[in-house]
Structures are given as structure tokens and as C-alpha cells.
Structure 1
């Protein structure tokens, strides 16, 4: 059975049911009751439990915000849970409870929640080139969210809201599936790099089987797909990450580590996990042609990758001089604005590469 957490949105704009409110002390319940009376809402009280029938949690939170009825400590001390019609309070239901402070944070993330509920994630694509001859060997799928007015929510905002409001599981799952669907619709050929956040995965058998299932259904040869680990600096449990990567490898997929070189943890991951590809952090590539410190890090990473039989992808290339340096020092793959910016449809690479003419 698939994990329900990544398939459900915690705060629905439209869902109705019995709103259960609790507080740690009687004083909080009294403050809550006064608020409900002022708002003229029906409710029942049983000890430290208050129930509001036929309620919409989103509307209730909007009332709380407009009335400014509780201070910060009170918002943190009152917990709320919306029980679906006919649902009884049990341990599984109780795990959905949050404080009013946490729920109000989700109201602020309502734009992201709307995208999740409507499944309006899309993927744009940026080409990845071979350093040996400049040909496009594949694309990285990059997440975008579509608001109802057609404007886009970009990854920085998406993942900030997801991290702050415990929505990372839902975002990560939909992002992976969006990459596959959009790539199939766009007719992407060659390799496809798909990002995933390992901290958003409990058990790969449950959390990743839908992604693998969609890949098979859409006809993607596993040899074409590279699953790219992001947020490597935040991975604290290497054994858990290794378990995830083993699941992908057993299914025939390749693995890339993103932002390698940005800190100690990613270097440790490189030595421990031995991925198929490492993407050297763009902060190292930027201005590398004139920065000896960056050059030393780049060369060390390339040497380590060669020892383990790992391909090196230099990302964030913006100038011809950066390109010339990373190619001369052993990059296998290339990515950056110098070649093309991300786009909904694959774009032609229109940059000349004289560096390859001198590769001898």
C-alpha cells in the first residue's frame, strides 16, 4: 500500500467535517470558547475538547487571522484537527493535528496548497551537453508550479514554503511524476535528470513505487533516467540514503549527486555512495577560469571521480572562459545558461564551441 502522507494535502480549501480543538490547560479552552461565541459558531465542549460541527478548517483559520483573537503562545497551545464526515478520532487521525500557529502557516502557503490540490506542477527542461563534442545528451527537468492565473511559482518559493509547512513529501512526489509526464509530452529524447529530495522519503518501496510505475507506463527506458539527489548537505542518515539509491539501482536507474563540493557532507557522500554522476556546484564553476581556489577544488573533485569511475558534470556555466577551463580539466558533461536557459519545450543550443577544436 502506498504511503498516504505524500498523496494527501493537509489543508483543503473546500473540505468540511467536524473541527476538533484542544488545549493543554483550561484557560486556553475558555479563551477559545469566547472566540467561538463572538464568531457565533456552534460548538460542543467536553473537558479540554471542543467540537465545531460542519466546519471548514480553512475558513475557521481565516476567521482567526482576521479577528487576531489569540496571541503567539495561545496559537501554539491550541491544536486543531478536521475529522472527515463519519471519521472517529483515533491515533491515525490524531497524527494530522497541528497547532493553530502551524495551521496559519499553511494558510500563508495556500498558493502552494492550491497547486498541489489541482496537481498543477509542470517541468521545464535545460539541456546537458557532452564535453567531448558539444552534442546534447539529455535534459534536466526543473520544477515549476502554475497558479490559477497562469503565472509561475519557481523552486525557491516552492521549497521554502514546503519546508516551512511540512509539505515536502507531497511536493517531492508530484515533482517526480511531473518530470516524467512533461518529458513524455515534450518528446524529450536522450537522458532525463529528475530531482528528488531524500529527506522526503520514508521507505523507497512505498514512496518511490509510483514514480517507477509511471516511468514504466510512459515507456521510459530505465537507462535513460538519472535520479538526482538534491539537498545533499541536509542528509544526515547515509544508510537511509544508501537504501534509497539501492532501490533505484535495482530498478535499473542511474544516480547523480547535485551540488557536490559545496561542503563536507557532499564529499563524504561521494566517497560513501559512489554515484554514477556528480554535478559540481555552480558556485565552484562560476569564475573558475580566474580563481585558483575554485580551480583546486574542481581538480580534486575530478581526480576523486576518476578514481571511482564517476562522470563529472559541471553546472552553472555562463561564459566561454568557464567552459574552456572545465573541459580542459576533465569535465564529462556540461550545463548552464551559456548553452540554454530552462524552457517548457527543449531549445536548440546555438553556442559555438571552439574549445573542442583544440581538444587535442
Structure 2
């Protein structure tokens, strides 16, 4: 059951900016999203890690109702700061929590300030919506996506095709990018049912004017089948593993 859109309280923005309620530190690993059409890095996704490279769940398990707003905002600032320090010249993809956004034009202010401080072009930022946020209303999500797009940011839906799919969001406010869930990608070259689903998603995105990212690609067989369907953006171990506080060089299949 959808909950109503969260009411805006500007005081929360001030709390987010100064990190109130957050009693742990974290960093990021970056994984490339490659464009095989021109053999370049299209973007890097910022993946939460512990300060010594510990897995994401060591950090995400500490996020709760009291600190999620501060965590979401600090994630954005830290990702922009580290990307700038590393000299990232690709797009930067940042996961965001819709339930931590009261009103997009206010909650984006810390991101804009960080981009200005660290000289990172806001036109190179992608905000990636995860499908875990099941309780956020369609109206609230669509409003966030539309606001971010109007501000010049790109938007993406992560893990599409597994669990709670956002087809309602696709109808209300299509994102710029849609990332196929790795459950759909795994062994797609030999599973006709998956092939049919992927083909339908490709057609949908073509008609909506967006692009698809195949994530979690691990084998050349998966890649070759997806490539035969016209997909050009990829993320996965076949190309590069995440690099802790660095930008790993991807490899491209022939």
C-alpha cells in the first residue's frame, strides 16, 4: 500500500547538511558503466563501503528512520567530493533514498553546494532510484524524478525487473536510464523466458526515449546476447570490479 508523499520541513535540510544523527563514517568504491559502442566509460556508480573497504551492508545496516535523511545527504556530498578528488570526467551515478527526500528542490541544495565547492559539473550527475523503497508513493517518486530532470540531472531506476518493479513510475515519469536487474541478465543467453522479458523492456525504453544499462554482466555469453539486442551500456565484473576509492580501468570484450 502506497504511503502519501512526505510533507516538507525545511529544518530537515539544515540537519542533513551538518550530519545530525549520523554516528558512523563511510566511503565509496566506484564501478564503471561502460559504453561499448565507443569503448569509453559512460559513468561510475558510487557504491557505499566502510572506511577500510568493508562491504555495503556493514554501513547500510546502520541506516534507520532517525538517520536516513542525514545519511542520504552526506552520501551525495561524499560521492561528489571523492569523484572530484579522483579527477572523474565521466558521469557520476549516486543512489538516493526517495523516503529521505522531503521536497526535491530543497533537499538538493547540499548536492548543489558540494558540486560548486568541489568544481563538479552537475550535468554529470545521475540520481539512481533503487527499488527497495516500496513504501514511497508514486506521486512523490514521479515528482522527484521530474524535479531532478528539470534541474539538469539525469535519473535512473536501478534493479529493474526484480521484486517490486516500478512500471507505475515508468508511466508517470520515465527516467533517462533503466538498469536491468542482474537476475534478468544472468544466463539470459540460454533462457528464452528472460529473453522475452528483456526484449519487451528494450522496446518499452526505445518508445519512452531512454537508455538501458545491463548490470551484473559476468560472462561473454551474456554480453554477446545483450549486445545483439542493441544494448550498449554495461556494468559488471566482465568489464571491471568496483575499486575502493579509485577509478578502475575497464576491459572490453572483442
TM-score range, shorter chain: 0.7 to 0.9
Residue among 255, 262, 265 paired with 2:155: 255
Q: 2:7 corresponds to which residue? A: none
Instruction: Tell me the distance in 2 between the aligned counterparts of 1:251 and 1:273.
Output: 15
Render the CA deviation track for 1:164-184: whole Å, top value 9, x for unaligned.
x63222211111111100000
Higher RCO by CA contacts (8 Å cutoff, separation 6 or greater): 2
Write the mapping of 1:18-57 to structure 2, written as runs, cut at 5 A: none
Q: 1:197 corresponds to which residue? A: 97
CA-CA distance at 1:205 after TM superposition: 2.9
2:27/2:50 contact within 8 Å kept = yes
1:259/1:281 contact within 8 Å kept = yes
Residue among 137, 149, 158 paired with 1:237: 137
Render the CA deviation track for 1:165-218: whole Å, top value 9, x for unaligned.
632222111111111000001111121111111111112233221112211332
- Which of structure 1's runs of 4+ aligned residues deviate more than 6 A? none
Q: 1:183 to 1:341 in 2, by over 3 A?
A: same
Are 1:173 and 2:61 matched, yes or no? Answer: no
Instruction: Tell me the distance in 2 between the aligned counterparts of 1:154 and 1:199.
Output: 23
Q: Aligned pair count? A: 242
Compute the RMSD of aligned alpha carbons. Answer: 2.0
Render the CA deviation track for 1:63-102: whole Å, top value 9, x for unaligned.
xxxxxxxxxxxxxxxxxxxxxxxxxxxxxxxxxxxxxxxx
CA-CA distance at 1:239 after TM superposition: 1.2
Write the mapping of 1:24-103 to structure 2, written as runs, cut at 5 A: none
Q: 1:309 corresponds to which residue? A: 209
2:112/2:122 contact within 8 Å kept = no
TM-score w.r.t. the length of structure 1 is 0.63
SS at structure 2 position matched to 1:265 = coil
SS at structure 1 position matched to 2:155 = strand
Render the CA deviation track for 1:2-40: whole Å, top value 9, x for unaligned.
524434544xxxxxxxxxxxxxxxxxxxxxxxxxxxxxx
1:222/1:252 contact within 8 Å kept = yes
Unmatched 5+ stretches in structure 2: 1-9
Q: 1:139 corresponds to which residue? A: 44
Instruction: Tell me the distance in 1 between the aligned counterparts of 2:236 and 2:110.
Output: 30
Bigger radius of gyration among the two? 1
Instruction: Tell me the distance in 2 between the aligned counterparts of 1:338 and 1:265.
Output: 26
Q: 2:30 corresponds to which residue? A: 125
1:232/1:258 contact within 8 Å kept = no
